[in-house]
């Protein structure tokens, strides 16, 4: 793929990822109990955008989240919920999982797949 097409493809991928995150922030209303639904929809869209590496990234992000809770205790969630920023815990969870899935998909689509494609093309030529 030439450099211009590569740049456009990478830009579209990142813009789609940021759009998914922004719609989650927009829909995460402090007076609503829809935080879990927004989180699930955002995660599903990001996993689809970065499939199949997004599934692995999501599992790793969830494992890190549970590990942090196990080490720091539920106090960190209590602190986030009692802070002056509504839905801080949900914002942090969505943002960190979004970042992990976006990075995994970027690595997969723009580093791993092109190298595998070149390797297979060289092998069969």
Q: Where are the domains of the chain?
A: 3-124
Report the alpha-carbon distance of residue 80 to residue 75 in Å, rounded: 8
65-80 burial, b at 16+ Cβ within 10 Å, e below that, comes to eeeeeeeeeeeebeeb
| Tokens, residue 46 | 């990001």
Q: 102 or 125: whose pLDDT is higher? A: 102
Report the alpha-carbon distance of residue 75 to residue 92 in Å, rounded: 15
pLDDT at 70: 77
Q: What is the pLDDT of residues 49-108, one digit of tens each?
A: 999 999 999 999 989 888 877 777 666 666 766 766 666 777 888 888 999 999 999 999
Average pLDDT over all residues of the chain: 86
């Amino acid at each position: 793929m030439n450099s211009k097409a590569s740049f456009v493809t990478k830009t579209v991928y990142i813009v789609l990822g940021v759009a998914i995150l922004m719609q989650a922030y927009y829909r995460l209303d402090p007076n609503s109990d829809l935080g879990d639904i927004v989180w699930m929809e955002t995660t599903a869209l990001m996993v689809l955008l970065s499939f199949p590496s997004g599934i692995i990234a999501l599992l790793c992000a969830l494992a890190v989240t549970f590990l942090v809770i196990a080490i720091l205790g539920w106090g960190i969630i209590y602190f986030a919920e009692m802070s002056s920023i509504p839905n801080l815990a949900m914002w942090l969870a969505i943002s960190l999982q979004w970042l992990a899935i976006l990075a995994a998909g970027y690595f997969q689509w723009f580093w791993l797949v092109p190298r595998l494609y070149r390797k297979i093309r060289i092998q069969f030529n």
